[in-house]
Amino acid sequence: MLVATAPAEGHVNVIMHPVKELVRRGNTVTWYTGKVFQERVERTGARFSPIVSGFDYGGMTHDEAFPEHTGLTGVKGMIAVFRDVFLSTAPDQLRDLSTLAEELKPDVVVTDETTYAGGFLSELKGIPLVWMATSVYTLSSRNTAPFGMGLRPSSSVLGRLRNRTLKWTADHVIMRELRRAADRTRGQVGLPPIGAGAFENIVRMPSLYLLGTVPSFEYPRSDLLPQTRFVGPLTGAATDAFEPPAWWGDLTAYSRVVHLTQGTVANEPERLLRPAIRALSGLDALIVVTTGVPPEQLDLGPLPDNVRVERFVPYHQLLPHADLLVTNGGYGGVTAALTNGVPLVVASATEDKNEVGAHVGWSGAGLHLKSGDDLERRLRAAVQRVLREPSFRARAQALGEEYRAHDGPRRAAQLIEELAGGDGPDAAAPVRERPGRHA
């Protein structure tokens, strides 16, 4: 099996446990990604293959790798990411993957949904393709607004009219630049245009689309891609040793614990960290901040007495103590919070995070704040509301029970093996799994 992922934390981490399970089950796996992830890949038992031809931005912050994106938010920021981070890097990555495919003769190619080089390889070589989702469902539907707008779903007559109108506007106006870039890139690698919607226009649909979530967190769609499977969170048992920081005992000294994180890539502190620290300074709670980079590289300003800052604390160690997660909407963090029954406040600005935040708000497990003025005041009010109103925690806990009823890595590995063995999903089979079932 050939695995290919973008050289970014959220894309590598989401696939680690399924790959480990595939290897445990006796499969030979080669994993292509950035050099900084070699040790992590080899710990799964997979053979590591580095990016050679393409731009390896692994280990960099987003602003370091793509300084031209600084300050971009909303749909413009999302388009820039899909165009420059995932699409423009694909032809060079395809050269590496084509060489690997000639050597390995893989039965299946497994990628995150934005490693477009894997999709191009699948089309050119006729190899079955698996998407292992690093975010919410990205494809268009008659029941939802286009991906990236952060709007709630609607299947009413007026809702479908709204969705259809917005889809035409997105495809022909807002996302026109991305569609044209996709056509040019496909031509560059010897593939014809697809002529579909913005996110369906880049690569052909996979043979299997594995969503690392549960049906209750995803919008209901009457036209869900038939190859979609809900497998639950793609996480496994914690194996890394953990040395608690010196302040760890403070977790029990406060009546409440709030975890604040901005992820590992989008590290402009004024987007979330500084406003949130100011907003939460007067809260009767311990605020645990993780920065993703050495904290001394960020100017967080004066730290109140109730704030503790670390580069990284494992979610499985911290979230069982937390009453709330404040985040920019990274999918892995949101999934970890819900798995632990922790409600959220999501303040999103870039990439797919607007959609992830919208799902949190729609699910009832937290509040979603879009980018805008006076973030500090809005954060303070949102945090106070989620901590005050029990419905948010109750909904997060209900979702947590559903998440924990699944063994995502095992189910993902099983479905991938079935596809590799020629027993892939029947396009006519039902795919909307019932809550609580092992999808």
Question: Reading across the β-sheet that carries 307-310, which strands appear in turn?
Answer: 307-310, 286-290, 257-261, 324-327, 344-347, 366-369
Residue 53 has pLDDT above 90, yes or no: yes
How much is the average pLDDT of 306-316?
92
The predicted pLDDT at position 239 comes to: 56
CA distance 12 to 37: 8
pTM above 0.85, yes or no: yes
At the topology level, CATH places domain 248-403 in Rossmann fold (3.40.50)
Return residue ranges of the chain for CATH 3.40.50.2000. 2-232+406-420, 248-403
Task: Tell me the β-bridge partners of 260.
Answer: 289, 326
SS3 222: coil
The predicted pLDDT at position 424 comes to: 53
What percentage of residues in the chain have a pLDDT greater than 70? 93
How much is the average pLDDT of 189-216?
94
- Of 231, 226, 229, 236, nearest to 213 by C-alpha is 231
Mean pLDDT lowest for which of 103-107, 348-352, 357-361, 368-372? 348-352
DSSP 3-state helix, strand, coil percentages of the chain (rounded to 5)? 45, 10, 45
Q: How far apart are the first and last CA of the chain?
A: 22
Right CATH for 2-232+406-420 from 1.10.3330.10, 3.40.50.300, 3.40.630.30, 3.40.50.2000: 3.40.50.2000
Each residue's pLDDT tens digit, 385-431: 999 999 999 999 999 999 999 999 999 999 999 999 866 554 333 33
Residue 45 has pLDDT above 70, yes or no: yes
Instruction: Give the CA distances from residue 132 to residues 159, 208, 213, in Å, rounded to whole numbers and listed in that order.
Output: 29, 8, 11
Each residue's pLDDT tens digit, 256-278: 999 999 865 556 787 889 999 99
The predicted pLDDT at position 199 comes to: 85
Model confidence band, residue 432 (pLDDT cutoffs 50, 70, 90): very low
The predicted pLDDT at position 351 comes to: 60
Q: In this structure, are strands 208-211 and 47-50 parallel, antiparallel, or unpaired?
A: unpaired
The predicted pLDDT at position 149 comes to: 86
Each residue's pLDDT tens digit, 151-165: 999 999 999 999 999
Each residue's pLDDT tens digit, 109-144: 999 999 999 999 999 999 999 999 999 999 999 999
Residue 100 has pLDDT above 50, yes or no: yes
Per the model's pLDDT, the better-predicted residue between 406 and 432 turns out to be 406
Residues 206, 138 contacting (CB under 8 angstroms): no
The phi and psi torsions of 297 (rounded to 5 degrees) equal -80, -10
Q: Amino acid identity, residue 116?
A: Y
Residues 436, 402 contacting (CB under 8 angstroms): yes
Mean pLDDT lowest for which of 8-12, 59-63, 118-122, 389-393? 59-63
Residue 285 has pLDDT above 80, yes or no: yes
**Which tokens hold the place of 401?**
């029970």
